[in-house]
Amino acid sequence: MREILIAFMLVVTFMAGGTQAIAEEAKVESEVASETEFVLTPVEFEKCREIYFDRCAGCHGVLRKGATGPDLTPSKTKVKGTKKLREFIWFGTGGGMPGWGKMGTITAEEADLLVKYIQNEPPVPPQWDMKNVKASWKLLIPPEERPTKPEHDRDVANMFAVVLRDAGQIAIIDGDTKEVVSTIDSGYAVHIVRMSMSGRYVYSIGRDGKCTLIDLWMKKPDTVAEIRCSLDARSVDVSKFKGFEDKYAVVGGYWPPQFVILDGATLEPIKIVSTLSYTYDTEEFHPEPRVASIVASHFAPEWVLNIKETGLVWLVNYSDPNNPSIKMIEAERFLHDGGWDSTKRYFLVAANARNKVAVIDAKEKKLVALIDTGGIKPHPGRGANWIDPEFGPVWATGHIGDSVVSVIGTDPVNHPDSAWKVVRTISALSSGNLFIKTHPNSKWVWLDSPLGKKAEDRTSVVVYDKANMGAGIFKTLEVADYGKAVHMEYNKAGDEVWVSVWGNLGDADKGKAGEIVVFDDKTLTEKARIKNLPTPTGKFNVYNTMYDIY
Ligand code: DHE
């Protein structure tokens, strides 16, 4: 399927008219390039296009106009030159770019080809309109044929949906027994899942834009509907406001830049909306404003959609989904990931390439603060909330480009002096942090560093004591001796922490494709290992995801 898509994308690349200006801008360069040292055979070009899609597009954009990572259009890359570009790709940068060669993700030959590729004109993928979206929709089991109550006696609220990233699958694991109840095919390089407000359904989103709906009430949970909302995507969420529980879902697209509103029980598409627009500050047209994180408001029937390149937060009202109203809030460019404060009124989202966190008030529907985090490229995941003994309720983020955790005050009523300010800056084990996590029942805060420079940092996580954050790292836990330790998630009771070991699919025969290590949160000791999971990354406890507990 993916091969067909790639071939299709290449053909349409040269037919797409909407991005003519970009094509022309790069034409002169590519003509020179194709005659000289940057020439690639069609097979090499295709190989690079795939590597670029897998490793580079997320940060630099499909059109390479730059976002979390810098602009890589030929007018910029040719100035940098082959030698410098090769070094960046191989060794990474201080700004948070991973050293793809050094880490063993790509070979020397692939790095050489990529250097040429990014000095050529970027191919432009096709559009994906409602006709395509509708044609991709499959209702495998209609709601009336689904169970009317759970067909098993497992605690659905303590189940985990685990992303098996490189396998393109979702594992459903019983949080009590640690059994893998079901392994279900999902989208290509599947990215995240979210839960319906009832906790019955799991919605997954793949990097190919495929959304699957999994019913946890089935004896063996399985897909009941699927749809492809775009060709490249990262986010999905559901309607959570009172009266709209389980009614709708929304999928955010990276390419084409758009979102699609779906029926929550069947995934039937209702409305498609393009996010093509102008940057909030300079009001320049942007050809690729991607939908980054999405959260569901608890104050109104609204989704908070973070439009990365334009720096706008869109509050999309879904009460009349065929005629959605959108309030656009100016925030900051390159919005990425974020989470609610403990009251779920304020959404804190990283504008990562600007080293800032924007705070959106979902009740008053406005921006309340733009905070300089003091570190390079904040990356909170959804962040972590706890009560600091000195500053009251706080939320925190780690950083990709700095070995630092920034703790931000979130209580403007009782702690106005610390609200929306960095109140503590704590040392991490390393840069390359992606996720931070806690639970209201825990005394600890957990932080990973899967993009750390040293292998031992990538395989470890650290724990901080909420009551004594000033003391720095309380304990470093080595999770595995291979792969990357990534993403923590608590069980429903908040007394276990699950950490993924993201290995290589190719190392499955050595038992090193991946596993989940379960820690006892009280003693900070290992409690269980769920072995032989192919490349687990994000994992989501049903209850904690439903209620946004982190
Ligand atoms: Fe993610 C969240 C985008 C790479 C694991 N990631 C997000 C969100 C966005 C995003 C926009 C917020 C979704 C939301 O809340 O609605 N991620 C991107 C990229 O563009 C990027 C940098 C590059 C790419 O090419 O995709 C990228 N992400 C990764 C990974 O390589 C990770 C580590 C492994 C994987 O499985 O893909 C990864 N991203 C995650 C996870 C979350 C996430 C686990 C959700 C965290 C949570 O606790 O909610």
pLDDT, tens only, 322-345: 999 999 999 999 999 999 999 999
pLDDT, tens only, 21-52: 444 444 444 444 444 689 999 999 999 999 99
Structure tokens at 125: 């993928």
**Predicted local distance difference test score (pLDDT) of residue 36:** 66
CB 203 within 8 A of CB 194: yes
Burial letters 26-47, b for 16+ CB under 10 A, else e = beebbeebeeeebebeeebbbb
For a substitution probing ligand 1, which of 50, 191, 316, 544 has the most ligand atoms within 8 Å of its CB?
191
- Phi/psi at 238 (5° precision): -125, 170
Amino acid sitting at position 527: K
Catalytic residue among 159, 191, 211, 379: 379
- To the query of whether residue 379 is one of the catalytic residues in this protein, the response is yes
Q: Residue 285, CB half-sphere, CA atoms under 13 Å: how many?
A: 6
Contacts of 74 (CB under 8 A, 6+ apart): 26, 29, 30, 33, 118, 119, 120, 121
pLDDT, tens only, 72-129: 999 999 999 999 999 999 999 878 898 999 888 899 999 999 999 999 999 999 999 9
The answer, as to whether pTM is greater than 0.95, is no
For residue 451, the CA-to-ligand 1 centroid distance in Å is 13
- To the query of whether residue 336 is one of the catalytic residues in this protein, the response is yes
Closest CA to 198 of 238, 246, 264: 246
Closest CA to 408 of 398, 392, 420, 426: 420
DSSP H or E run through 424: strand 422-427
Helix (H, G, I), strand (E, B), or coil: what is residue 387?
Answer: strand
- To the query of whether residue 59 is one of the catalytic residues in this protein, the response is yes
Closest CA to 229 of 106, 304, 135: 135
CB 64 within 8 A of CB 71: yes
How far is residue 346's CA from residue 360's CA, in Å, rounded to a whole number?
Answer: 5
**Predicted local distance difference test score (pLDDT) of residue 3:** 43
What is the atom index within ligand 1 of the atom nearest the CA of 486?
33
| Statement: residue 306 has pLDDT above 50 | yes
What length is written for the chain? 550
- To the query of whether residue 191 is one of the catalytic residues in this protein, the response is no
**Predicted local distance difference test score (pLDDT) of residue 24:** 46
How far is residue 466's CA from residue 437's CA, in Å, rounded to a whole number?
Answer: 12
CB 456 within 8 A of CB 471: no
DSSP H or E run through 60: helix 57-60
- Phi/psi at 523 (5° precision): -95, -10
- To the query of whether residue 211 is one of the catalytic residues in this protein, the response is no
pLDDT, tens only, 532-550: 999 999 999 999 999 999 9
Residues with CB under 6 Å of ligand 1 are 57-59, 163, 165, 191-192, 234-235, 292-294, 336-337, 381-382, 434, 486-487, 537-538
Please tell me the least confidently modeled range out of 53-57, 94-98, 197-201: 94-98
Q: Which band of pLDDT confidence, cut at 50, 70 and 90, is reported for residue 465?
A: very high
